[in-house]
Chains A and B, each alone.
Chain A
Amino acid sequence: LAKTTQPISMDSYEGQEVNITCSHNNIATNDYITWYQQFPSQGPRFIIQGYKTKVTNEVASLFIPADRKSSTLSLPRVSLSDTAVYYCLVGPDPSSNTGKLIFGQGTTLQVKP
């Protein structure tokens, strides 16, 4: 499973757009990129997943350049409740593998009023 590198922490203010970039230089051809969010003392929650280009859902957008060696999670207009740890994971097609996830260090996002 490809290793990922993220900033350890980020600060933002309410209403701003937050972009968290993840590096995954050794991503394999069949790897997908998935982001999870975790609040203190809770299990992680799926945010978004993509393979290439751009993916958008009601919560976030995921931008993946052509070489797929990095990805950026974009959170529009964050609020205080978006303060959490965000994990970037890279692994084989989730619909075909065993579902094993290896978590990196994650990015602690602190949203300030």
Chain B
Amino acid sequence: GAVVSQHPSWVICKSGTSVKIECRSLDFQATTMFWYRQFPKQSLMLMATSNEGSKATYEQGVEKDKFLINHASLTLSTLTVTSAHPEDSSFYICSARPPSQGHNEQFFGPGTRLTVL
């Protein structure tokens, strides 16, 4: 199946700093990628839809100025958590769906564990 990677797999940062997380589709092109956040023992919460070459679409309640999304190419989307605070500590997961027929499922990255001290 298709492969989606994320980098880094985990990151620890100090409060007030910014952290960038990369999401790559390794063997397919994705015009659309999705970013989720998951707190311990909770479900995945969709944060935003990343669109190649255009602005991201954010879900209600997600601060677009805090979670900057850039989808500069068909294989890479980045999520930058700006001025991170301890409450931003979470598991961030991206996903994408290959555009070709026969791929009705989404493929998820392995996730990035963010810890803000």
Contacts and interface: CB of A to CB of B under 8 A. Distances in A.
A105 interface: yes
Nearest to B10: A41
Interface in B2-60: 4, 32, 34, 36, 43-46, 49
Given A98-B32, A99-B32, A100-B34, A87 B43 contact: yes
B48 to A, nearest CB: 10
B111 A101 contact: no
Contacts, number: 60
Contact of B108 (A45, A98, A102): A45
Interface of B: 1, 4, 32, 34, 36, 43-46, 49, 91, 93-97, 101, 104-111, 113
24 contacts: A41-B113, A42-B110, A43-B4, A43-B94, A43-B95, A43-B110, A44-B93, A46-B105, A46-B107, A87-B43, A94-B97, A94-B104, A94-B105, A95-B101, A98-B32, A99-B32, A99-B96, A99-B97, A99-B106, A101-B34, A101-B95, A102-B46, A103-B43, A103-B46
Given A44-B108, A87-B43, A103-B36, 16 more contacts: A34-B105, A41-B113, A43-B93, A43-B110, A44-B93, A46-B105, A46-B106, A94-B105, A99-B34, A101-B34, A101-B46, A101-B106, A102-B46, A103-B43, A103-B45, A105-B43
